[in-house]
Structure 1
Amino acid sequence: MPSAFCVGLIALMAASNFLHVPVFVQVIGSATSIIYFSATFSLKLKHHRGSSAKEDMRIMVQLLWIGVAYGIFLFKLFFDKDLANLLIASYYSFTSVLSLTEVFSPLVARLLFRGGSRTYRRALKVPFYGESALELSQAWVLTFAFAAGFAYAWFQTKHYLLNNVFGVSLSIKYIELFSVVDFKYSAFLLCGVFFHDIFWVFRTGGMVTAMPFFYPPAKLMFPRAFATATEKANAAQAFPKPFFHVNLVFYVLGLVAIVTVMFVFKAVPPALLFLAPACLGSALATAFARGEFKELLAYSEE
């Protein structure tokens, strides 16, 4: 259950206030556990996906990250950085509230609405999207109110623990719902953000310019989503799942390389410089070793 996992992970993060837990252990442990459990949760939703048009909308959301980053970079150059941060922080506060609500509303329904949470339904027409059914349960509304309170507290204090709470919930729901349509598209997307990250850090200096003023909770998603794609590709096969497990191991090795560079050279490298080759290379190498290269490239969720 996503909410139970999220509660456990947040509790471990809170425990670091009282127990000495090395930073690299927290980073690698939380990232790895989020991928593993979120990928497992996503398998339960595999047969409940929407149409291809809805999948295209999910894909467009991924491109929003790049647009937002460049938008901050340009806004910082020509406008007040505080205003830019206010706009972006407001947007991510709202998305964090939604993700937190989606993660914890099932738990609230079980604890407070044992007789069943009443659900309100209404059909809506969304511009450029079409028909959409709005469903709000009592548990969802109550959880949304609590999540909004958390967002207000984070907005006022920027406390790291609240930031981590939103970051974990965003990661879980994003990976759980993310769809890459097919494996080739996923690989192409990963290659694209690999070169983009190098250009963004080394060529434009955008990371140095924009990120010091960028406070909203954010988690690196593309490699995690790619790892989830290997989990779904394995779902059509009998367990064990070699592609996913190998991919996860190399993702962890990529994180270890990043943390090592940070501590040894006192510099923050572009994360995708390590994670993108680790994830894509391990998947392709596993396919070659198992003689399943064509099958991997042919995989599609449709």
Structure 2
Amino acid sequence: MNPTGPVLAATDFSPHARHAADRAARIAHAKGAPLALLHVLPGEALASLRQWLGAANAPEAQLTGDAREQLQRLATELGAARHVEVACSVTAGPPVDEILREAERLDARLIVLGARGIGFLRRLVLGTTAERLLRRTARPLLVVRQTPHERYRRVLVALDFSPWSGQALALARRIAPHAQLVLFSAFEVPFGEKLRFAGVDAATIEAYRHKARTDATLAVHRLAAAAGLKPAQWQACVVEGDASLRLVEKEQELDCDLVVLGKHGVAATVDLLLGSVTKHVLAEGSTDVAVSTAQEP
């Protein structure tokens, strides 16, 4: 991926998509990168229109022209407000295919989407379209839920110390270089309450729990040190419980405005699957979510 490539924002002109485009423009400006705006006309609907009215029908031309004008107005607004170079593209076809094709053509450094939409992005986050996009791209994805009034202030970075964790931390620092980082790790005592029924005494279970917390805390500190983070730049957040649930809780409790996770594959044969934690945060979280699609060698 080209480190000087553009930030690509896909928009259907809905309010959430406008927020996403604004956030993309802010990130592009901060990184000295151009912004690329993409609008995808629904390929199936256009094909039906051609079938009804013929290949050279006026409504299709009108729809395309209107989309270009609307996209150009958005580009002009963002270019003036965020002091960033903006390029526009209107295409037609399956949304995921077109987003991926444009990202490859531009060698985009980041793909940015709104969390909700009125057109082709309507189900992009919570439906299968988002999962297909994340399975098929090697580029990081940012899903924007909030109005971007300012740069990111506090970022919750989910760490499970898999090969994805280091890249998730690196993505957080690229998107939010001035934010306070909260390095999150959740641990669970295997078999939990079942150990009591198996005759394991409470003191032994508590020692087991203490060791799990200590190991996770040390791992967080090692990762922060390896990333070159200074003490003032980050804090540890090590909790017990289900990572999916606790991550959403801490996002709200600590007033974070961005959560960053890895895509999470556990082996080469399932590298293209989304992890359950990532799925849960995309579906249940209330703040912006960035997903790193890279892992350490």
TM-score class, shorter: under 0.3
Larger radius of gyration: 2
Larger relative strand fraction = 2
Larger relative helix fraction = 1
